[in-house]
Chain A
Amino acid sequence: GAGVSQSPSNKVTEKGKDVELRCDPISGHTALYWYRQSLGQGLEFLIYFQGNSAPDKSGLPSDRFSAERTGGSVSTLTIQRTQQEDSAVYLCASSLLQGNNSPLHFGNGTRLTVT
């Protein structure tokens, strides 16, 4: 079946512009996660959704970052007034159940470059 889909796969934007990154999770997966992968930094947790609510948004780096999820499915990560340090690969993952032993299924990511 279809995996986690992210769009666009690549995005180049000018400093100061807003960007929207989209994630389509696996159908039926109730939990959805956003991570950021920077060169040599590993994966940095940003936010987690259970259904449409976000119990943990502790990883959002600043108030320029926001995310929403609608219909318990698609999620959008929005970065306002982008800065060069926002350049990274943004990864989305979903899991079937809430719980520590439910594996995450990752998309291929959106590579964001801020010039």
Chain B
Amino acid sequence: AQSVTQLDSQVPVFEEAPVELRCNYSSSVSVYLFWYVQYPNQGLQLLLKYLSGSTLVKGINGFEAEFNKSQTSFHLRKPSVHISDTAEYFCAVSAQGNKLVFGAGTILRVKS
């Protein structure tokens, strides 16, 4: 079975500062990895995904993530955040069938 650990429940950061949201996973087989974002009072939307190929994946809104197989990590980064990036971010892993297993989420709070 797969599992996902998001190491930080909340990350406060000032506007225009860089941010990294951490995600580690466990799986005995190859996985696909995803980051979803949930803005207040909205559903989740896909931010980016790693399926194969280049380990550095670029997503929407200037976010990127790097797949590190040896460290079983898929950390999300953005070099300069905006107030509008305030949201909850979920890391997810999929291996068997279509079932996505999600982490507990990280709330990113961008302060001016």
Contacts and interface: CB of A to CB of B under 8 A. Distances in A.
A106 B94 contact: no
Contacts of B104: 40-42
B46 A104 contact: yes
Interface stretch (B12-20, B36-44, B62-70, B71-79): B36-44
Contact of B101 (A45, A55, A107): A45
A14 to B, nearest CB: 25
Interface of A: 3-4, 31, 33, 35, 40-43, 45, 48, 50, 55-56, 91, 93, 95, 98-109
Contact of B98 (A40, A41, A48, A109): A48
A102 B98 contact: yes
Contact of B99 (A56, A101, A109): A56
Contacts of B46: 103-104
B9 interface: yes
B98 A33 contact: yes
Given A40-B104, A56-B97, 15 more contacts: A4-B43, A43-B44, A43-B105, A45-B102, A48-B97, A48-B99, A91-B43, A99-B98, A100-B32, A100-B51, A100-B98, A103-B49, A105-B45, A108-B41, A108-B42
A42 B49 CA distance: 18
Contacts, number: 66
B100 interface: yes
Interface of B: 6, 9, 32, 34, 36, 41-46, 49, 51, 90, 92, 94-95, 97-105
A108 to B, nearest CB: 4
B94 A100 contact: yes
Given A100-B32, A106-B44, A107-B43, A42 B102 contact: yes
Given A56-B99, A106-B43, A42 B51 contact: no
